[in-house]
Amino acid sequence: MAPIIDSHIHLWPSAEASAHAWHTDDHPLAGQRSIADYHAATGTPTSFVLIEADRKNADSKDWTQPLAEISWARRIVEGNPNPDEGHTAEDAKLCLGIIPWAPVVLGASQLEKYLATAEDAAGPGTWAKVKGFRYLLQDKPNGTALGDDFIEGLKVLGKKGYVFDLGVDQHRRGRLQLEEAVEMIDRAHEGVEEDEKVVFILNHLCKPDLTIISQTDPSFIAWRTAMFTLSKCHKTYMKLSGCFAELPDSLKARPAEAIFSAILPWLAVVVAAFGPSRIMFAGDWPVCTIGVGDDAWKKWHKVVEMVCDLAGLSKEDQEMLWSGTAKKAYKLD
């Protein structure tokens, strides 16, 4: 089996679980999610990229919790856990990259201030593993991604060599989120030198509606069109991930084979649009477990194996999908 870099996982200690914007006491992900838990879910030590998990930030004005999340990542990288945080010094080498939150929406000046503060919180060893930043757009008002401050913030990231992880949600927010993503990328690259254009890493197929059946459905057509449009920019990459959250509940408990068959039209579009050199495997653990169960990561891994088989990917192409694309896009050591 090809070596794996899981390009999208989330972790948090129990002491900070309530610091997330989505947290409630009865939320399926309430409580700690540690590297030890991740090992149990995957069945094998797998290198990963740690993605921010939507800490509370008071509309980007309060950086306390996002900075605490960076300090948490620092404990992982330095192999220096607090008691019962579920990781060891040996686990440090598995964290290849970190994508913290950043207030891109506040514009260049405030973003620069945040980056300096975040670097202090991280320390040099952990900061070297920071490869980019994420600011979720999936739950933000329409037009957020097209504001002048947001575009200038993206240009700052590109100039500094950081990627931007893009999280939008066609399923719940409609085609406008995809249309704005296309325009945002065009504007972020407009007038920018090639080597300073920010790289965009698209999360979770942009969350299409996987409950629809017909490929003639306007939702599918809009999503497919957006995928091919987004793929025309060579600075965009796609994470093969996040599909379980978009499935009808009746499918979530089905075997991997049934899920693969149900979502094949979407998977085929992504492979055709981006190709294996711009697609990367991502487990989206522990979010992938919601409504699916503890075997969710392994089930998704099997689905992706079936993608490789059906597409007839060569050994080299499979290596790109499982690890090479993540190395290239994130500039992992």
* pLDDT score for 1: 63
Q: Annotate 104-144 with DSSP letters as a single string.
A: GGG-HHHHHHHHHHHHHHHHHHHHTTB-EEE---TTSPTTG
Of all residues in the chain, the percent with pLDDT exceeding 90 is: 98
Residue 177 neighbours by CB under 8 Å, 6+ apart: 137, 138, 142, 168, 169, 170, 206
In 3D, which of 267, 254, 274, 275 has the Cα closest to residue 304? 267
pLDDT of 257 higher than 80:
yes
Q: Cα separation of 167 and 158, whole Å? A: 17
**Alpha helices for 52-205 (secondary structure H):** 64-77, 108-127, 148-159, 170-173, 175-189
Q: How many domains does the chain have?
A: 1
User: CATH number of the domain that 131 lies in?
Assistant: 3.20.20.140
Which helix (H) or strand (E) segment is 219 a member of? helix 218-231
Q: Cα separation of 302 and 255, whole Å? A: 10
Domain residue limits at 133: 5-330
pLDDT, mean of residues 169-184: 97
Residue 26 neighbours by CB under 8 Å, 6+ apart: none
54-89 pLDDT, tens digit each: 999 999 999 999 999 999 999 999 999 999 999 999
pLDDT of 19 higher than 80:
yes
